[in-house]
Amino acid sequence: MLQFPKDFLWGTATSSYQIEGANKTDGKGPSIWDAFCQIPGKISNNENGDTACDHYHKVVEDVQMMKALNIKAYRFSISWPRILPDGKVTKINEKGIDFYNHLIDTLLKNEITPWVTLYHWDLPLALQLEYDGWTGEKISDLFADYADLCFSRFGDRVKNWITINEPWVVAILGYGQGVFAPGRISNIEPYVAGHQLLLAHAKAVQVFRTKYQPTQGGQIGITNNCDWREPASDSDADKKAATRALEFFLGWFADPIYKGDYPKCMKERLGERLPAFTPEEKTMLLHSSDFFGLNHYTTMYAAEASGNLGKTNTYGNGGMSEDQDVILSSDPKWEYTSMRWAVVPWGCRKLLQWIANRYDNPPIYITENGCSYNDNLENGICADEKRTAFFKGYLTECNAAIQQGVNLKGYFIWSLMDNFEWASGYSKRFGIHYVDFETLERTPKDSARWYAELIANQ
Ligand code: GAL
């Protein structure tokens, strides 16, 4: 059995749009995902999050499920339009606030620490329409106002805050490739949106640090996602390509926070398409995270493309790969999940080491790691041995990273339960609890029992 440091934080994660449902209930306003799901063909089977896991009505039951897992922390997100139907603090939906109070209080009563994400992609639709979403200049101030409201209403009990989940996904999939809300396709807008997301993060942190942290304590950070990029060969060119790919992926959002500006290679390659920070903004961004939130799922090989990207490239058309000029590939001998993401545990260790080296060994929390498989429930049993093997593999490498000095302090499984997996709808199951989407019944998969035992044996 794996042994971790005594104070290691064990958790699971979810997000509002993926589990809450109750989308038009109790005064919630629409989000860009509600609108995006209405467009035929955008979501597998044209599904949507209207009901999802109906977590909105199942808080008590779901917290009991967490309790049985022995987890110490639960990461969830607040739906901005549930508490601010048109995105602005001029109109507060108290019923939405009540819902999160109920969730937070139930968690605390059960000795589970809430980790709260302020933005997990469900932007109020009104702000998309009025300000052009994350490409507008006003959005970072509106986000800071919303964050301020959350700190003031929940900060007496919530001590762990994550401003934004995966700005890379918002920028590239939402504004580059158009496969996530708001569905835009451009090779300019991802960099504009990324810039505003960083400013929004920094402004929210400034509010927290000036108005709340001095009296309430607590910590705040951002969660970035990154795959590992392994050089495809020993050549210098491929090694440089792999580093460049990591800089375009993670450095884009972590460098401004840990080094005060975008990576040099991005500035050189993007020219005017990459907005510049003012000196004041750089100061505001620098050291604006108390911890390094990391979502990690997979690994690919990276090779120098020298302008010959061709069709081999996974992230084609939409700004990213052409700009970094890297050819990505996988090893057919690797295991693959039902998302067709490769299972490469050692990539997780290498990424953790890369972060520790580049950013001066910050405290890291893996705020998501997990896998989807085509699970079946038979006679009340879901024998998901591949998922358990996945966690064993990744946690073994996390453990090795800690032994080597990486300051990894916690790990959240994605996800507590099967849920609405964005453009894939309900077809991809990431949960350690099986959800029957007809009856909404939850059943622990074998991996959930394994996780509960692992935590109990620490
Ligand atoms: C992350 C995201 C989660 C979940 C997961 C699995 O990018 O934050 O919401 O969908 O991927 O795809």
Q: Is the pLDDT of residue 309 over 80?
A: no
The model's pTM:
0.98
Q: What tens digit of pLDDT does each residue of 313-364 get? A: 454 444 567 899 998 999 999 999 999 999 999 999 999 999 999 999 999 9
Q: Average pLDDT, stretch 174-200?
A: 96
Q: Ligand 1 mean position to 234 CA, how many Å? A: 32
Q: Average pLDDT, stretch 48-63?
A: 98
- Ligand 1, atom 12: nearest CA belongs to which residue? 421
Higher pLDDT, 57 or 319: 57
Report the pLDDT value the prediction gives residue 317, as an integer from 0 to 100.
Answer: 45
Q: Ligand 1 mean position to 308 CA, how many Å? A: 30
Report the pLDDT value the prediction gives residue 306, as an integer from 0 to 100.
Answer: 87
Q: Average pLDDT, stretch 243-250?
A: 97
d(CA 101, CA 152): 12
Q: Which of 20, 47, 166, 189 is catalytic?
A: 166
pLDDT band at 78 (very low <50, low <70, confident <90, very high): very high
**Comparing 98-112, 244-258, 271-285, 306-320, which segment has the lowest mean pLDDT?**
306-320
166 among known catalytic residues: yes
CATH of domain 9-304+335-456: 3.20.20.80
Beta bridge pairs of residue 127 = none
Report the pLDDT value the prediction gives residue 282, as an integer from 0 to 100.
Answer: 98
Q: Which of 189, 247, 368, 397 is catalytic?
A: 368
pLDDT band at 3 (very low <50, low <70, confident <90, very high): very high
111 among known catalytic residues: no
Q: Average pLDDT, stretch 146-165?
A: 99
Q: Ligand 1 mean position to 306 CA, how many Å? A: 31
Report the pLDDT value the prediction gives residue 316, as an integer from 0 to 100.
Answer: 47
Report the pLDDT value the prediction gives residue 310, as an integer from 0 to 100.
Answer: 59
Q: Average pLDDT, stretch 61-79?
A: 98
Q: Ligand 1 mean position to 166 CA, how many Å? A: 9
Beta bridge pairs of residue 73 = 11, 113
d(CA 365, CA 225): 12
Q: What tens digit of pLDDT does each residue of 93-151 get? A: 999 999 999 999 999 999 999 999 999 999 999 999 999 999 999 999 999 999 999 99
pLDDT band at 426 (very low <50, low <70, confident <90, very high): very high
Taking the CA of residue 225 as reference, the ligand 1 atom at the shortest distance is 7
Percent residues over pLDDT 70 in the chain? 98
Q: Is the pLDDT of residue 312 over 90?
A: no
- Ligand 1, atom 5: nearest CA belongs to which residue? 414
Q: Average pLDDT, stretch 227-241?
A: 98
Report the pLDDT value the prediction gives residue 321, as an integer from 0 to 100.
Answer: 73
Mean pLDDT of the chain: 96
Percent residues over pLDDT 90 in the chain? 95
